[in-house]
């Protein structure tokens, strides 16, 4: 029996790409902040087809939620403009938003503002700004393995969104022919926070499989946004980086979209 037939017989998920997954190229931007990129193995040609990572030490950088629905913040901006206005080192989408271009699709709150009080059926919550000193500064709560009703009281800020990996490391997205740019957030086994962005279109299923194949110690991951709204911006003394999503395969956004809810970091 061939290895492929054996894998199918045993129920394993096969990850087959045109090219092998190469190692992430990491660059230190500042103490506690690293930028990495890797060619997407989905594409035969490597021209600008990268997946980008920002690896963040949460003991050095604090994470903050910003909302256009907040009376003191009240304006939709691009990731770059959010960073400029709030003095942030890096910015990424804070989950998908509703048709009013203000409220998140699912539960979202910070210490002094509730953007959406409704807990949806999505299974993961990014929790940060802890109320206790002896708990992780940032964690992804998975309701299949964690007690959200208890843990939600340990953090001032929580963002709910769609999980990409189960708490046992399984890819939970079905395969699809639809592809788009992706912004995501993850945590690794050492407690680092990861901002993740790919402008090149992927299905979410194959994107997760690529992440699982990379040596980045990914533990949990959440989908934040897709298509032209998916953005990531980084600015340090060493480098400025801006990544803006495309529409689905073959389409590119004409202008950078203003987004209502973002997550930003700044040095503690």
The pLDDT tens digits for 142-192 are: 999 999 999 999 999 999 999 999 999 999 999 998 999 999 999 999 999
Q: Evaluate if residue 250 carries a pLDDT over 70.
A: no
**Rg, Å, the chain Cα set:** 18
Model confidence at 11, pLDDT cuts 50, 70, 90, reads: very low
Q: Evaluate if residue 19 carries a pLDDT over 80.
A: no
- Sole residue written with tokens 């402008």: 199
SS3 34: strand
- Sole residue written with tokens 């939970």: 172
Strand ranges (DSSP E) for the chain? 25-30, 33-39, 50-56, 61-67, 90-93, 108-110, 113-116, 124-130, 138-142, 155-163, 180-188, 193-202, 218-226, 231-235, 240-244, 261-267
Model confidence at 74, pLDDT cuts 50, 70, 90, reads: confident
DSSP category for residue 152: G
Q: State the Cα–Cα distance between residues 250 and 253, nearest whole angstrom.
A: 10
Judging by beta carbons within 10 Å of its beta carbon (0-12, 13-18, 19+), is residue 121 exposed, middle or buried?
exposed
Q: Evaluate if residue 7 carries a pLDDT over 80.
A: no
Mean pLDDT, residues 12-32 taken together: 74
Could you tell me which residue, 19 or 55, shows the higher pLDDT? 55
9: its two tokens: 């017989």
152: its two tokens: 């939600």
Which of 15-24, 48-57, 239-248 tops mean pLDDT? 48-57
Please report the pLDDT score of residue 45 as a whole number: 65
Q: State the Cα–Cα distance between residues 195 and 185, nearest whole angstrom.
A: 5
Q: State the Cα–Cα distance between residues 66 and 61, nearest whole angstrom.
A: 16
Please report the pLDDT score of residue 22 as a whole number: 72
Which of 216, 234, 227 has the alpha carbon at shortest distance from 249?
A: 227
Percent of the chain with pLDDT over 90: 82
Mean pLDDT, residues 51-74 taken together: 96
Please report the pLDDT score of residue 55 as a whole number: 98
Mean pLDDT, residues 229-239 taken together: 97
**Mean pLDDT for the chain overall:** 90
The pLDDT tens digits for 97-114 are: 999 999 999 999 999 999
The pLDDT tens digits for 189-219 are: 999 999 999 999 999 999 999 999 999 999 9
Mean pLDDT, residues 237-252 taken together: 81
Please report the pLDDT score of residue 152 as a whole number: 96
């Amino acid at each position: 029996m061939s290895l492929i037939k054996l894998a199918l017989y045993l129920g394993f998920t096969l990850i087959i790409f045109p090219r092998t997954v190469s190692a992430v190229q990491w660059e230190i931007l500042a103490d506690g902040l690293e930028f990495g990129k890797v060619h997407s193995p989905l594409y035969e040609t490597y021209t600008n087809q990268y997946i980008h990572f920002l690896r963040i030490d949460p003991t050095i950088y604090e994470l903050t939620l910003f909302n256009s629905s907040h009376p003191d913040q009240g304006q939709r901006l691009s990731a770059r403009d959010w960073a400029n206005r709030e003095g942030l080192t890096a910015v990424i989408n804070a989950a998908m938003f509703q048709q009013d271009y203000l409220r998140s699709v699912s539960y979202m709150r910070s210490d002094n503002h509730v953007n959406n009080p409704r807990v949806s059926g999505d299974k993961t919550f990014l929790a940060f700004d802890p109320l206790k000193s002896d708990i992780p500064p940032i964690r992804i709560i998975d309701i299949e393995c964690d007690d959200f009703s208890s843990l939600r009281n340990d953090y001032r800020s929580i963002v709910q969104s769609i999980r990409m990996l189960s708490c046992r490391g399984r890819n939970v997205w079905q395969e699809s022919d639809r592809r788009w740019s992706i912004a995501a957030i993850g945590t690794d086994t050492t407690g680092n926070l990861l901002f993740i962005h790919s402008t090149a279109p992927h299905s979410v299923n194959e994107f997760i499989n690529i992440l699982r194949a990379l040596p980045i110690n990914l533990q949990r991951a959440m989908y934040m946004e897709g298509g032209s709204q998916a953005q990531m911006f980084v600015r340090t003394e060493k480098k400025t980086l801006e990544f803006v999503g495309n529409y689905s395969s073959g389409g590119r956004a004409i202008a950078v979209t203003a987004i209502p809810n973002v997550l930003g970091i700044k040095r503690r």
